[in-house]
């Protein structure tokens, strides 16, 4: 059959708000032209994030009822721990309420002034937590990973030469650990190959540096390895995931992604001393070691989510849905980052709106216009999220200007995807009308969440 279908049927529904263009123009103005400040009741299709926005299965909802809400030693924790250990093999599994809590704990334990943490590309909260601990966060993406128009199977890979140069410059004793993010979210949701993970481990072992994986989207990454890397075609997703983790000394995870749940995360490691310090910090900031800031029922939903996310029929549908949106846009000539990633389609704002220079936030102008004409919310990942100022107050742009259309898991149907494509194509066909923007207020860290913006006429 040519048509691919959602491998589930719908048991319960949630109405989505339908609004007019006049209303949305006003909502945007009220939100200071920042889609993060819009109310969800004014959004028709929400592609802001794939994080915590998943639809849970009937079995997950049923598991919630079976949650054991004991403060200490909850049966639900042990179920969660078992499945996470089965997939990752790590000795210590420390639950947290979401990914950044795991990052905060990890970097308050290992971070500090004068230290450096490399990664293929740090996600914004990872970078912020590292920098907040006064550590340097350094990105080492492969060259092809910063070229949105060039296709390659594993554009999420870390550049091993760059990584070694960073190690030599900082000194291995100043690198408490090195990371790889799978899939590479800030680099376009692109996968990392098994070979790259293995070679990273070899390089880091040479310098005695622990290796951590930011594994939010590990199952999607494993699926890409199965599809694209020779030698893995006949392995199960679980076997591939297990091999990925076998090279690492620890991991941070936002289980709001490939945990197929609305909340949760973990920090995992093999090092007893690190685990001891992390658990102390967990108790101070998150909660006891058998719940980490989560309701125990959420650990039940996660335990079931980790089983379902490894199902190949689910992953095939997931990756094909995202790819279908990408293909519709490519056919209409819309410049997107290719190939499409695991969880999102990324518009290439530099080619989409070449008349708006990075310092005038082309991605934000595109995201706002998509919302205005269709009620579809997307997010800028470019100069607004990652831009800096140099010592002369000049704008320093990141390598790419992107708009991310993140697809929540198991939430939207094919007709929703068609509607999204139509909206983006409409904005692209009228791209010369997109206007420059400026910041009128910003916070010190993670400014994009609360920023206030205006148009420049």
Residues that bind ligand F0G (CB under 6 A): 49, 51, 98-100, 123, 125-126, 181, 185, 214, 216, 254, 256, 265, 406
- Least Å distance between CB 206 and ligand F0G? 26
What's the rounded Cα separation, in Å, for the pair 441 and 448?
Answer: 10
CA-CA distance, 455 to 444, in Å (whole number)? 22
Q: Cα 320 to chain center, whole Å?
A: 18
Q: Which is nearer to ligand F0G, 217 or 431 (CB)?
A: 217
Nearer to ligand F0G, 412 or 428 (CB): 412
Closest to ligand F0G by CB, 261 or 290: 261
Select 293 or 387, whichever has its Cβ closest to ligand F0G.
Answer: 293
- Minimum distance of ligand F0G from residue 456's CB (angstroms): 28
CB of 125 or CB of 157, closer to ligand F0G = 125
Distance in Å, CB of 151 to ligand F0G, minimum: 22
Number of neighbouring beta carbons within 10 Å of residue 60: 21
Give the per-residue SS3 of the chain: CCCCCCCCCCCCCCCCCCCCHHHHHHHHHHCCCCHHHCCHHHCCEECCCCCCCCCCCHHHHHHHHCCCCCCCCCHHHHHHHHHHHHHHCCCEEEEECCHHHHHHHHHHHHCCCCCEEEECCCCHHHHHHHHHCCCEEEECECHHHHCCCCCCCCCCCECHHHHHHHHHHHCHHHCCCEEEECCECCCCCECCCHHHHHHHHHHHHHCCCCEEEECCCHHHHHHHHHHHCCCCCCCCHHHHHHHHHHCCCEEEEECCCCCCCCCCEEEEECCHHHHHHHHHHHHHHCCCCCCCCCCHHHHHHHHHHHHHCCCHHHHHHHHHHHHHHHHHHHHCCCCECCCCCCCEEEEEHHHHCCCCCHHHCHHHHHHHHHHHHHCEECEEECHHHHCEECCCCCEECCCCCEEEEECCCCCCCHHHHHHHHHHHHHHHHCHHHCCCEEEEECCCCCHHHCCEEEECC
Tell the smallest beta-carbon distance from residue 155 to ligand F0G (Å).
Answer: 15
- Rounded to the nearest whole angstrom, what is the least distance from the CB of residue 216 to ligand F0G in the complex? 4
Q: Between 48 and 417, name the residue whose CB sits nearer to ligand F0G.
A: 48
Instruction: Give min distance, CB of 342 to ligand F0G, in A.
Output: 11
Name which of 387 and 428 has its Cβ closer to ligand F0G.
387
Nearer to ligand F0G, 49 or 378 (CB): 49
Smallest distance, Å, CB 96 to ligand F0G? 9
Answer for the pair 356, 382: CB distance below 8 angstroms, yes or no: no
Number of Cβ atoms within 10 Å of the Cβ of 66? 13
- Pick 301 or 356: Cβ nearer ligand F0G: 301
- d(C-alpha 356, C-alpha 9), whole Å: 43
Supply the minimum distance, in Å, between the C-beta of residue 103 and ligand F0G: 7
In the complex with ligand F0G, which residue's Cβ is closer, 46 or 214?
Answer: 214
CB 194 within 8 A of CB 239: no
Q: How far is the CB of 132 from ligand F0G (least distance, A)?
A: 14
> Which residue's CB atom is positioned nearest to ligand F0G?
99
Cα 221 to its chain centre, rounded Å, is 12
Select 49 or 116, whichever has its Cβ closest to ligand F0G.
49
Q: How far is the CB of 218 from ligand F0G (least distance, A)?
A: 10
Nearer to ligand F0G, 123 or 232 (CB): 123
Give me the least distance between CB of 413 and ligand F0G, in Å please.
21
The CB-of-154 to ligand F0G minimum distance in angstroms stands at 16
Sign for the CA dihedral angle at 172, 109, 272, 212 comes to negative
């Amino acid at each position: 059959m040519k048509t691919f279908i959602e491998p589930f049927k719908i048991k319960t529904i949630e109405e989505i708000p339908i609004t007019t263009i006049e209303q949305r123009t006003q909502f945007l103005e009220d939100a200071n032209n920042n889609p993060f400040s819009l109310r969800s009741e004014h959004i028709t299709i929400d592609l802001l994030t794939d994080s915590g926005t998943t639809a849970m299965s009937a079995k997950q909802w049923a598991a919630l009822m079976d949650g054991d809400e004991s403060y200490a030693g909850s049966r639900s924790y042990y179920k969660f721990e078992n499945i996470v250990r089965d997939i990752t093999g790590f000795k210590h599994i420390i639950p947290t309420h979401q990914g950044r809590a795991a990052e905060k704990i990890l970097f308050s334990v290992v971070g500090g002034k004068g230290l450096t943490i490399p990664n293929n590309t740090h996600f914004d909260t990872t970078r912020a937590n590292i920098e907040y601990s006064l550590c340097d966060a350094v990105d080492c993406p492969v060259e092809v990973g910063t070229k949105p128009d060039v296709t390659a199977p594993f554009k999420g890979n870390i550049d091993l030469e760059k990584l070694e140069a960073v190690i030599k410059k900082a000194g291995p004793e100043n690198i408490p650990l090195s990371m790889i993010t799978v899939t590479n979210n800030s680099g376009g949701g692109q996968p990392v190959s098994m070979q790259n993970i293995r070679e990273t481990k070899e390089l880091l072992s040479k310098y005695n540096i622990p290796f951590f994986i930011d594994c939010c989207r590990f199952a999607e990454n494993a699926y890409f390895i199965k599809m694209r890397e020779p030698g893995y075609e006949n392995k199960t997703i679980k076997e591939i995931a297990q091999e990925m983790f076998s090279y690492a000394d620890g991991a941070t995870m936002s289980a709001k992604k490939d945990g197929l749940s609305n909340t949760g995360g973990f920090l995992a490691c093999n090092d007893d001393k690190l685990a001891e310090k992390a658990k102390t910090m967990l108790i101070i900031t998150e909660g006891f070691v058998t719940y980490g800031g989560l309701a125990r029922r959420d650990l039940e939903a996660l335990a079931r989510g980790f089983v379902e996310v490894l199902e190949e029929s689910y992953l095939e549908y997931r990756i094909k849905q995202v790819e279908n949106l990408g293909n519709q846009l490519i056919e209409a000539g819309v410049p997107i980052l290719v190939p499409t990633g695991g969880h999102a389609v990324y518009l290439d704002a530099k080619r989409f709106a070449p008349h708006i220079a990075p310092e005038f936030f082309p991605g934000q102008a595109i995201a706002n216009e998509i919302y205005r004409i269709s009620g579809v919310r997307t997010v800028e990942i470019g100069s607004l999220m990652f831009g800096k100022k140099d010592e002369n107050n000049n704008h320093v742009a990141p390598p790419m200007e992107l708009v991310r259309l993140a697809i929540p898991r198991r939430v939207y149907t094919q007709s929703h995807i068609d509607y999204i494509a139509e909206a983006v194509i409409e904005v692209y066909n009228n791209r010369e009308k997109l206007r420059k923007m400026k910041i009128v207020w910003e916070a010190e860290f993670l400014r994009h969440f609360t920023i206030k913006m205006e148009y420049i006429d």
